[in-house]
Amino acid sequence: MKKVTVFTPTYNRAFCLHQIYNSLVNQTNTDFCWLVIDDGSTDTTKELVASWINEGKIAIQYVFQENQGMHGAHNTAYELIKTELNVCIDSDDYMTNNAVELILNKWKSVSNKEKIAGIVGLDVFKNGEIVGKQFPKQLVFSSLSNIYNKYNVTGDKKLVLRTDVVKKYPKYPIFNGERFVPLGTLYLMIDQEYQLACLNQALCVVEYLPGGSSNTIFKQYKLNPKGFRYARTLELKHVHDFRTKIKKTLHFISSTLFIGDYQFFKNNPKKVLTFLCLPLGFLFHLYIVFKSKK
């Protein structure tokens, strides 16, 4: 069995999938398989991936499902993955040519893996510029939340996770009529029990295409309020920084207003804070409504 599964959720991205395919074909270490989760594409994704399977250059598994959104594709991937490690590479991104080699070398160097959930590495833009900041040189292990909140690292990072750890936690919930639940909810739960091995090297080349969730976040808030309220509830339970708690509380209030059930306190771990923030939360909600129309 291969050591790593690279999985790619995709929806109508046949025009750019060649980038990740080519990067996988050119890997310096081939101890991986590629799992493509086609989340209901209506373009030529199926035929394109079939042609690559016929080429036989790398091990590829293709799975089609009705559209559920990114989190639903992650659920399917985690059900299917059997390798020790897994890493998600989005359909508009691709791996550096030595990424698998870097991952396996780093993982081999971790002597006591019991409380290590995986590896966190760097994303870079096409021009080679690091997304955000690197990890402090002395930082060997850290939770993902501490990387950002304690060590002031910024920018998206690439997570390589132990499959057995991922399978310990609940799947992302699927809400009728919604297509988005923040993926960070899983990572937040993992954070409570595990750390990550920090790798100050580039694993993934990223490009934020128009229409991706990174570029439509205010509309996502409006269209997927149940998914975001689920996320805010978890965040309010686990986040310790007070300013961050205020921010998450305002988002919780706004999501509840979008849902329209006015359940501001049910299953809310910070009821008093939510009550105190209600007036500001209403104003914040109006701001999101305004931004979502642009």
- Does residue 154 have a pLDDT over 90? yes
Number of domains in the chain: 2
- Answer yes or no: do 222 and 280 share one domain: yes
Helices (H), the chain: 17-25, 45-55, 70-80, 99-109, 144-149, 163-166, 184-191, 217-223, 225-238, 242-259, 271-292
Task: Please indicate, yes or no, whether residues 178 and 238 belong to a single structural domain of this protein.
Answer: no
The pTM is what?
A: 0.94
- Enclosing H/E stretch for 140: none
Out of 214, 237, 260, a domain closes at 214
Please check whether residues 158 and 47 belong to one and the same domain: yes
In this structure, the answer to whether residues 184 and 232 fall within a common structural domain is no
- Name every residue whose Cβ is closer than 8 Å to that of residue 11 and which is 6 or more positions away in sequence: 38, 39, 40, 41, 67, 91
Mean pLDDT of 44-60: 98
- Note whether 180 and 101 are same-domain residues: yes
Q: Which of 214, 245, 279 is the last residue of a domain?
A: 214
Average pLDDT over residues 268-272: 97
The answer on 86 and 18 residing in a single domain is yes
- Where does a domain end: 197, 214, 231? 214
Cα–Cα distance for residue pair 195/117, rounded to 1 Å: 6
Contact present, 159 and 118 (Cβ < 8 Å): yes
* pLDDT exceeds 90 at position 215: no
Maximum distance among all Cα pairs of the chain, rounded to whole angstroms: 61
We report the CATH number of the domain holding residue 169 as: 3.90.550.10
The span from the CA of 135 to the CA of 199, in Å, is 8
12 plus 116 within the same structural domain: yes
Q: Which residues pair with 10 in a beta bridge?
A: 38
Range of the domain at 256: 216-292
Let me know whether 271 and 288 are in one domain.
yes
Q: Do 220 and 125 fall within a single domain?
A: no
Span 164-179, average pLDDT: 98
Mean predicted confidence (pLDDT) in 152-175: 98
Query: Is the same domain home to 239 and 196?
Result: no
- Whether the CB-CB separation of 37 and 62 falls below 8 Å is answered with no
d(CA 63, CA 42): 14
Do residues 27 and 55 touch, judged by C-beta distance below 8 A?
no
